[in-house]
Chain A
Amino acid sequence: MTRTASLAIARTVGRLSRRLGRGGGTSAPGKVLLRMRPGAIEELAAGLPMGSLVISATNGKTTTARLVAACMGAEGWRVLGNPAGANLLSGVATALLDGSARRPRPQVGLFEVDEFALPEVARRLRPRVLVLMNLFRDQLDRYGELEAIADAWAAMVRDLPGDTVLVLNADDPAVAELGHGTTRRVVYFGIDDPSAALPELPHAADSTRCRHCAAPLAYDRVVLGHMGDWHCTACDRRRPAPDVRATRVTLDGTTGLDLEIATPDGPVSAPVAVPGMHNAYNATAAAAAAIALGIAPSRIGPALASADAAFGRAERVRVDGREAVLLLAKNPAGANVTVQTVLLDPDPLHLLVALNDRTADGHDVSWIWDVDYEPLLPRLERLTVTGDRAYDMALRFVYAGLDRERVTVLERPEAALDAALAALPDGRTLYVLPTYTAMLGLREVLVRRGAAEAFWHDS
C-alpha cells in the first residue's frame, strides 16, 4: 500500500473513533497505521525539521511536557505533542499522523512516553533530546520489576545516535547511572536547596542500592523518595554535579511554588502554577530540557510561569459552586508527594480517594500499603473512598488507625463526589486523590457538569 493511502485510512479510523466517542481517537489510528506501515514513525518523524524531544519517567511526564511545551511556544516553535494517556508507540504514531496533516507543519516533536514503551519509541524516533527524570516502583504486575526497566533503559542509551543529548536527573541514582562513562552530551539536573531535605528516606524509597555494584547507597540529603544527594558506600559512584540546579525552592501551599534555578547559560527565576516538591523537580527538568535545546534562560522563566496544570495533575476546578483539586496519585512515590502537598493546606482536610485496579492503574492494589497516608489522619475532617477497590482503600486508612465509622465508602464515583462536595464547608477545598482510570471517570463527570474540559482538547 502506498504511504498516502495508509495515512488516509489511518486518519479515517481516527475520525470514526472520535465519532463513536471512543475517547478522542488518540491511539487507534496509530495502531492501524503501524500495522499497514511498520516504518511509519521513522518516516513521519523525519518530517520534523527540528527533531523530537522525548520525556520519560515513572512520575511527572505530563506536567514536565506541558512546561517544556510552554518554553518551546515562547520561542515561537510549532510544537507537535501527544496527549497524556496516549504515550505508547501507537499514541506517538497517532500524534505524528495528525501532525503530518497540519498546516503549517509542526517543526518540533514533544512526546511523553511510557517508561516501558520508551526503548522502542526511542529506537524509532531517534530523539534529539531525551529527558529521563525518575524511576519509581509502579504497577509491578505490568512491568515486572524496577531493575528490569533500568536495564532496558541502559541498553537503549547505548544504542542511541551519538548526537542525542541526554537530560538526566542527577538526584535519582538509577537515572544518573545512565550517563556514567558516556561520550555523548549530558545535561544533569537536580535540586540543590539545602532546606529541601527530608529527615530520612521514606518507606517507599526504591533504588537504595548502587546500580553499579549493588552496595547500599548513603544520602547526605534526601529530597523526595530515593532522590537527593547520594553516594555509594562501596564504589566511586556518587551524584553527578548538576548542570541545571534549583538553588532555591519555595513551596507556596497547595497552589504553586517559586524556583530559582542556576544554569550554565544564566539564572532562571519563576513562579510555577503547580504545587509540591515533585513539581519543583518537574520544572527543573523542563528548564534543563530547554537549556539542552538552546533556549535562553531569560525566555525559560516567563514560559514556566505561564504554564497551567495538566489535566488531573493538581488541576483546580469549580463544581457546583465548590472548589476541588484533582491530584493524580497512581503509585507510592506519586501518592506520597500528593499527601505532602495536601498537608500544606492549613485547614482541616476533606479528602476523596478513588482506587481502581484496571489495566492503566495496575491490577495489583497492594501499592497503597506502601504510601505514607498516616500524616493525614490527625488532619482529616472527612474521608470518602470510592472506586472498584474502594474497600481496599477503606482498610488502608482503618489499619492506619482511623475509626471505621469515620470512613464513608461509596463505590460509585459520582455518588462519592456528590457526597464529598455536599459535606464540604464553604470556602474549603476538596482534595481528590484518584488513580489514573478513576481520574478519567471523575473528570468525565466534571466535563458533563461544565467544570473541566475534555482531555483530548488538552494537549
Chain B
Amino acid sequence: MAVLRVCHLYPGELNIYADRGNIAVLRRRLEWRGHTLAVTEAGIGDPIPADHDLYYLGGGQDRDQLVVARDLPATKADALRSAMADGAVLLAVCGGFQLAGHGYTAVDGSRMPGIGVLDADTVAGPTRLIGDLVIEAELEGERRRVVGFENHAGRTTLGPGSVPLGRVVSGHGNNGTDGGEGAVTGRAIGTYLHGPLLPKNPWLADTVIRWGLEHAGGAAVTLDPLPDDLEESAHAAAAARAGVRR
C-alpha cells in the first residue's frame, strides 16, 4: 500500500470543467487497489509543497485565469519547475495547459506568462473551438484512443521540447490546423480534453497514477487491472457522439 501525494493547484479558481472529477478518479482508482490519495490544495498566495508526486492544474474563467497567472510566478513557478525536474507528474487541463506552457497572448495583445514546463505557446483565436474531441494518444510507445470535450479560444502550437499527447481523430485539438492535441514533456501532460478527462479514459488515468506511484516509491510499478465496464461504455458513448465508431 502506497500513498500518492497530489497537489491540486488553485482549486478555487481553476475548476470550471469539473476538475474535481479528475481528482475523484485518482482517489478511487488508488483506493480500489489498496492505495491512498493525499491531496494538498494550493491556492492564491500559498507556497508550493515540494515533496508531491502529481501536480494538477485545471481550467478557469478568463478573470480567474488572470488572477492565477499573476500568482504563479510569484509563489509557484520555480518550485513547480524543480518538481518536474525531479520526475514528478503534471496533469494540466484546458486553461491549466495554457499556463503550463510559455504563456497566452490575448486578443488585445496582452501577455499572460506561463511556467514553461511544456514547450507550448498559446495565442487567442477569433472563435472558440468547441465540441466533442477524440484523439489517438501515444504515451511510452502505447497508442490508445482518448475521448472528451474541448472548449477553448486559445490556439496552441508546440516547440521542439514537447510532443503532442495525440493526433486528432475528430474535433479541433491544439489549434484546429496541425492535427495535434495536447503536449507532453517527460511526465508533464497538457491537454484540452475535459469531460472530465479521466473518468472515461481509464488507461490515461492509470498511466498518470502509475507515474505518480513510481515517483513516490522510486521503483517501477505494475497496477492491478480494474473492472472498467462502465468506463468503457461511457468512453464508447462519447466517441460515438463525435462520430467515431468501434
Which of the residues A209, A370, A391 comes within 8 Å of B18, measured between beta carbons? A370
Is A31 close to B, CB under 8 A?
no
CB under 8 Å from chain A, chain B span 211-246: 227, 229-231, 233-234, 237-238, 241
> Is residue A456 contacting chain B, with contact meaning CB distance below 8 A?
no
Interface residues of B in 55-101 (CB under 8 A from A): 61-64, 67
Are B233 and A364 interface neighbours, CB within 8 A? no
Q: B20 within 8 Å of A by Cβ?
A: yes
Give the A interface residue count (CB, 8 A): 35
B230 touches A366 (CB 8 A): no
Is residue A344 within 8 Å, beta carbon to beta carbon, of the partner chain? no
Contact with A along B135-152 (1 / 0, CB 8 A): 000000000000001010
Given A395-B231, A399-B24: A366 in contact with B18 (beta carbons within 8 A): yes
Chain B residues with CB under 8 Å of A399's CB are 21, 24-25, 28, 199
B149:A364 contact, CB within 8 angstroms: yes
A409 to B231 alpha-carbon distance, docked (Å): 13
How distant is the Cα of A369 from the Cα of B200 in the complex, in angstroms?
Answer: 13
Binds B, one of A97-105, A111-119, A140-148, A262-270: A140-148
| Residue among B28, B62, B149, B230 making CB contact with A401, cutoff 8 Å | B28
Question: B151 touching A147 by the CB < 8 A rule?
Answer: no
Are B149 and A209 in contact, with the CB atoms below 8 A?
no
Asked if A369 contacts B18 (CB within 8 A), the reply is yes
| A394 in contact with B230 (CB, 8 Å) | yes
Q: Does A22 contact B (CB under 8 A)?
A: no
Min CB distance, B209 to chain A, in Å?
14
Most chain A beta carbons < 10 A, residue from B20, B21, B67: B21
Across the interface, which residues of B come within 8 angstroms of A389, CB to CB? 234, 237-238
Q: Is A260 an interface residue (CB 8 A)?
A: no
User: Does A156 lie at the interface of the complex (its beta carbon under 8 Å from any beta carbon of B)?
Assistant: no
Interface size class of B (residues with CB under 8 A): 35 or more
Q: B-facing mask of A373-404, CB < 8 A → 1, else 0?
A: 00000000000000011111011101111001
Those of B133-172 within 8 Å (CB) of chain A: 149, 151
Chain A residues within 8 Å of B25, by CB: 399
* Complex: A400 Cα to B25 Cα, angstroms: 9
Query: Which of B64, B227, B230, B237: most chain A CB closer than 10 A?
Result: B230
Find out whether the CB atom of B61 lies under 8 angstroms from the CB atom of A367: no
| Option from A144, A147, A369 in Cβ contact (under 8 Å) with B20 | A369
B18: chain A residues within 8 A (beta carbon): 366-370
- With a cutoff of 8 Å between Cβ atoms, the chain B residues found around residue A363 in the complex are 130-132, 149, 241
> A445 near B: Cβ within 8 Å?
no
Which residues of B sit under 8 angstroms from A390, Cβ to Cβ? Answer: 237
Question: Does A137 touch B at the CB level, under 8 Å?
Answer: yes
A409-B230 Cα distance, complex, nearest whole Å = 9
Chain A hits for B233, CB < 8 A: 391, 394, 409
- In the complex, the answer to whether B131 meets A395 with C-beta atoms within 8 Å is no
B128 at the A interface (CB under 8 A): yes
Task: Report yes or no: B149 in contact with A141, Cβ–Cβ below 8 A.
Answer: yes
Contact B199 A395 (CB under 8 A): yes
In this assembly, does B17 line the interface, its C-beta being within 8 Å of a C-beta of chain A?
yes
In this complex, what residue of A is CB-closest to B236?
Answer: A391
A340 CA / B201 CA spacing, docked (Å): 31
Chain B residues near A141: list those with CB within 8 A.
130-131, 149, 151
- Residues of B that sit less than 8 Å from A by CB: 12, 15-18, 20-21, 24-25, 28, 61-64, 67, 128, 130-132, 149, 151, 194-196, 199-200, 227, 229-231, 233-234, 237-238, 241
Please list 13 pairs of residues, one from A and one from B, whose beta carbons are closer than 8 Å in the complex, sorted by A's number: A137-B16, A141-B130, A147-B61, A147-B62, A214-B63, A363-B132, A363-B149, A364-B194, A370-B20, A391-B230, A392-B238, A395-B230, A399-B199
